[in-house]
């Protein structure tokens, strides 16, 4: 029986999952209370968490996605050549 070869290895899929989780956490950090006309101006929209930390976390997640895609999967010694 032939073993199917995928473009990504197990490690690549794990890194992709982690990076997507980091992106979701970054978008969650960006959320918060909104400013509406009924409630008046809310200075919380300029919080350090929302305008500094969250974009850094989100960009780190996107860079992790790129790294997970470009990372070469490790070749195993028994990749079907000995059979």
pLDDT digits (tens, 9 = 90+) for 7-58: 888 899 999 999 999 999 999 999 977 777 777 777 778 889 999 999 999 9
Residue 75 belongs to a domain: no
User: What is residue 32's predicted lDDT score, i.e. its pLDDT?
Assistant: 78
54 burial via Cβ count (<10 Å: 0-12, 13-18, 19+) = buried
pLDDT at 82: 53
- The pTM (predicted TM-score) of the whole model is 0.76
In a domain, 64, yes or no: yes
Decide: helix, strand or coil at residue 72: coil
Both structure tokens of 62 = 């996107």
**62: in domain:** yes
Residue-number span of the structural domain to which 65 is assigned: 10-32+44-70
**pLDDT at residue number 53:** 96
Is residue 75 scored above 70 in pLDDT? Answer: no
* Whether the Cβ atoms of residue 64 and residue 5 lie closer than 8 Å to each other: no
CA angle 57-62-67, nearest 5°?
Answer: 120
């Amino acid at each position: 029986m032939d073993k199917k070869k995928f473009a990504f290895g197990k490690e690549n899929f794990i890194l992709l999952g982690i990076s997507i989780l980091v992106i979701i956490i970054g978008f969650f950090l960006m959320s918060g209370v909104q400013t509406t006309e009924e409630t008046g101006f809310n200075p919380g929209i300029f919080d350090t968490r929302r305008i500094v930390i969250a974009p850094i976390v989100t960009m780190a997640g996107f860079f992790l996605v790129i790294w997970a895609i470009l990372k070469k999967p490790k070749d195993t010694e028994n990749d079907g050549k000995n059979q």
